[in-house]
Amino acid sequence: MIYPITVYGDPLLRKVAAPIDNNLKDLKELIDNMFETMYHSEGVGLAAPQVGKSLRIFVVDASSAADEEEPELEGFKKAFINPEILERTGDNWVMNEGCLSLPEIREDISRPEHVKIKYLDENLQEHIEEYGGFAARVIQHEYDHLDGVLLIDYLSPLRKRILKSKLTAISKGKVNTVYRIVLPGKSKLA
């Protein structure tokens, strides 16, 4: 099932998501649907709040970004349940990021180069792993969603003012996307 994407302006995107209970029914179905939604929306990551669910889970598949510089991205497809970033290290580096919840907005965002994360996989097995480069960036971006943080929160006040009209348009559904969206505060699709 392909979920509609929750877009900027919806209060759910600003809430801290709740941990997933080990007894959550249909966890596998949720994960499968999140991957299907992410692929349909042409994303490389997707957090549960972006599909209207205030749960601490995100999925990533950055294998399409594998190249000579980052061959470790080959096959990098995972679900991160109840993740906890333990450490962010390395130099901050800037990369242009987009977000399915902020369609038609792309901004240069500075993030640490490496991340150490503890999480449960889809079989509820615990892992502690370290990632660098693009994988670390995607993980940090999706993890932010679980804490109610959006990429625009990293921008200067001036840049936010410049984007104000675009953000207002998104919140009113006046954007072009290849995926369905849910207007903020409504259950109606745009």
Which of the following is catalytic: 97, 113, 129, 142? 142
Residue ranges with strand state E in 124-182? 126-132, 181-182
- CB-CB contact of 15 with 148 (8 Å): yes
142 is catalytic: yes
d(CA 173, CA 167): 10
Which residues 6+ apart lie within 8 Å of 150 measured at CB?
8, 13, 99, 101, 102, 144
Task: State the residue for tokens 């249909």.
Answer: 26
Q: Could you give the residue numbers annotated as active site?
A: 142
